[in-house]
Structure 1
Amino acid sequence: MGHSTAKLSLDDFPEPEQVVRLRAQLLEWYGRMGRDLPWRRTRDPYAIWISEIMLQQTQVKTVLPYYQRWLIALPTVTDLADADLETVLKLWEGLGYYTRARNLHKTAQAIVKEHGGVFPETARQLQVLPGIGRSTAGAIASSAFGRCEAILDANVRRVLGRLLAVDDPPARAEAKLWEISQRLVDPQAPHNFNQALMDLGATVCTARSPLCLLCPWQADCLGRRSGEPTRFPVRPARTVRSEIAGVSVLIECQGKFLLVRRPERGLLAGLWEFPFVESVGGGEPEETVRMAFGNRLESLERLGQVEHEFTHRHLTAQVLWARWAATLDELPDCIEHREHAWVAPEHWPEYAMPAYVRKICRLQCLQ
């Protein structure tokens, strides 16, 4: 099976000559077509770790400006460990999946406290840290320390699943794909090999329209030979998106507006928002707000509506403005036990807010 048209099969994969050839083909392609990305120009484990976490479920073009701003503001793991959470969340604002940012903060503190500020070098050690899974650990260990560790992010899973036409259900396929990835990774160039796999999935072996004729592995790919490469690997069943409907109310008093911080766990944990009341029974927004805040709201006005897509949720918020008829110290029961602040509009940018709240801010500024 040493010639370029050999057909792969999982039963006898890999043969030594075959693995050598696949590695050489991929690395040669990467040398010509690999993307020039800033985290590939460094071996600093901190910078590589930040990039890997940002890239989880987020496209490269979105990550680039965040990555550059982050390293200017927090250039070392000690800087991140010493930063307050509000600063971290503000730097992350707009990237979504905010648990990633909170875990970055926790992990930096753990590295400083438990490892003297020195990054662990093995994938096994890295996986113990908050927010670092097996694939992320493999990427950091291979890129920063030259360790022969496999990765299996969404792009790599797709490339390898098609290469060997893995049609098992997702849960059963996982172990098989990890084994393939570990067998293929080049011990002489683990960083470049893993980066090449990710690039191949991102730019050629794409989810819906793979460019098979540009692929260095096209002669061996069983998915391509099947005539239906997009059938591999089998995708998990789609999660039904739930609907969240409610009212965001901009409560004004003495030129300031009430902001409340979301709980430390759950959706948008730790971010600031205007008071949000979920709608019950399809009532009018004004009625929903008055039930929550009583009769201390005056001059209710509708400002409009905002919508936002989360991973598995769709939010629709009616936006109201109201004047607070009490003092800044008097708050309704639904607010007084939550962290809150009265903030003038010119200071809103200083608070870490989710994207849907930024939409509301823009809506208010147009009034």
Structure 2
Amino acid sequence: MSAKVPLSPLPQRLPGVARDLLDWYDANARSLPWRAPPGTAAPDPYRVWLSEVMLQQTQVATVRPYFERWTARWPTFAALAAAEDAEVMAAWAGLGYYARARNLLAGARVIAAQHGGQLPDTEAMLRTIPGIGDYTAAAIAAIAFGRRAVVVDANVERVVARLFAIQTPLPAAKPLIRAAADRVTPEERAGDFAQAMMDLGSGICTTRGPRCLLCPIRAHCEGFAQGAPERLPVKAAKRVRPVRHGTMFWLECDGRVLLRRRPAKGLLGGMLALPTGPWADTAPLLDDAPADVAWRLHDETVAHGFTHFELVCALASGGWRRHPDTIDGEWWPIDALDSAGLPAVFRKATDAMRRICG
């Protein structure tokens, strides 16, 4: 365990940080489909809410096309609330962390049913909506409604740790970082300030090789003054993720392959996927095969990293000669699998199987 480094008291407020950062943001803000230009009227709360959920642990470049397709299809809370669960999960496929999609749908239905189709405008009320935690509530309150709120995502965390030269390792430093962010968050334009901090962390105060000479708040930065801002924030050593093993089954029938919808709760819940046996510490091989056929176990495997473990799956193929309706699942045309909305790990498996089976 890393020892905590004693800290001197934080300054009450770093003068000029908000002013200098907002001046920079006014000239350099990223143009994003969910944002309003700096200093203008607040953006559509629906678009802010959707973007903040999509951006959790996902990069802007990945989110942008999903966001644009999503808002074209479901432009309001009411439209999303009326959507079918399977359609929403299929539209989310590829973004990962699928509980976010389930929470978006649940949240839209709560907003439509209990809040007249309008998103609440306070952090406390926002936290009552499914899928909205402390960070997302603060971000929506500040960006969509102009309320003063302390918004700390990974980019802001890095900027603030360097700005105040906070030496305590993460995650123990989180409360101290939030308190420091509170000291520099202005009463006015809190939403622009939060987005400016995000842009600064994304483009200038980056994890590696921060471009300090371009930084608008360099004069206030203790990390820069000490000569090694790239060392901050200090992170505790990562734990090695365990490896789990499984088998994915490719069962063909007349140019189609069997897919099954995963249970609503749990990892990749509600998504269409290839049948798979249990994911365990040792390879189960042909355990829990979906049918009693002559399975062929292939040499190629599929690997995928989840948040808490690495998955390595064997691939098995077989043919179904009986009537398709005699087995549970959906028979999907092999040449249309790209439209099935499969999660990334199963897309890897189907790509491999199409290549293997030719």
Same fold (TM over 0.5): yes
1:68-123 Cα shifts (integer Å, max 9, x gaps)? 11100110011111101111111111111111111101110111111011110111
Q: Structure 1 residues 328 and 133, CA, compared in 2 at 3 Å: closer, same or farther? A: same
Higher helix share: 1
Instruction: Give the match for residue 358 of structure 1.
Output: 347
TM-score, reference length from structure 2:
0.88
Instruction: Give the match for residue 296 of structure 2.
Output: 300
Instruction: Give the match for residue 97 of structure 2.
Output: 97
TM-score, reference length from structure 1:
0.86
After TM superposition, the runs of 4+ consecutive aligned structure 1 residues lying more than 4 A away are 278-283
SS at 2:34's partner residue? helix
Aligned positions, number: 345
SS at 2:102's partner residue? helix
1:192-246 Cα shifts (integer Å, max 9, x gaps)? 1111011111111111221111112212211122222233223244132221222
The 5 A counterparts of 1:1-367 are 11=9, 13-15=11-13, 18-19=14-15, 21-41=16-36, 43-278=43-278, 288-289=285-286, 291-293=287-289, 296-298=292-294, 300=296, 302=298, 304-331=300-327, 340-366=329-355, 367=358
User: What percentage of residue pairs aligned between the two structures are identical?
Assistant: 39
1:317-359 Cα shifts (integer Å, max 9, x gaps)? 222220135543444xxxx6xxx32222244344331112112
1:137-181 Cα shifts (integer Å, max 9, x gaps)? 111111111111110101111111111111224354222222222
Contact 1:89–1:352 under 8 Å retained in 2: yes
Contact 2:245–2:281 under 8 Å retained in 1: no
Q: Structure 1 residues 219 and 257, CA, compared in 2 at 3 Å: closer, same or farther? A: same
Aligned partner letter, 1:315: L
Structure 2 Cα separation of the partners of residues 157 and 280 of structure 1: 36
Q: Structure 1 residues 262 and 294, CA, compared in 2 at 3 Å: closer, same or farther? A: closer
Contact 1:296–1:325 under 8 Å retained in 2: no
Aligned partner letter, 1:25: D
Structure 2 Cα separation of the partners of residues 46 and 187 of structure 1: 24
Q: Structure 1 residues 171 and 245, CA, compared in 2 at 3 Å: closer, same or farther? A: closer
Structure 1 gap segments, 5+ residues each: 1-8
Contact 1:259–1:275 under 8 Å retained in 2: yes
1:255-299 Cα shifts (integer Å, max 9, x gaps)? 43221222222221111211122587967x8xx32x534982136
Contact 2:275–2:289 under 8 Å retained in 1: no
Deviates further, 71-80 or 137-146: 137-146
Contact 1:296–1:324 under 8 Å retained in 2: no
SS at 1:103's partner residue? helix
For residue 58 of structure 1, report the CA deviation from its aligned partner.
Answer: 0.9
Instruction: Give the match for residue 4 of structure 1.
Output: none
Contact 1:262–1:273 under 8 Å retained in 2: yes
Aligned partner letter, 1:93: A
Aligned partner letter, 2:251: I
Q: CA RMSD in A?
A: 2.4
Structure 2 Cα separation of the partners of residues 255 and 206 of structure 1: 48
1:293-319 Cα shifts (integer Å, max 9, x gaps)? 498213636383322222332222222
Structure 1 Cα separation of the partners of residues 70 and 291 of structure 2: 45
Q: Structure 1 residues 10 and 72, CA, compared in 2 at 3 Å: closer, same or farther? A: farther
Deviates further, 274-283 or 225-234: 274-283
Aligned partner letter, 2:17: L
Aligned partner letter, 2:271: L
1:53-77 Cα shifts (integer Å, max 9, x gaps)? 1111111111111111110011001
Q: Structure 1 residues 134 and 282, CA, compared in 2 at 3 Å: closer, same or farther? A: closer
SS at 1:40's partner residue? coil
SS at 1:66's partner residue? helix
SS at 1:352's partner residue? coil
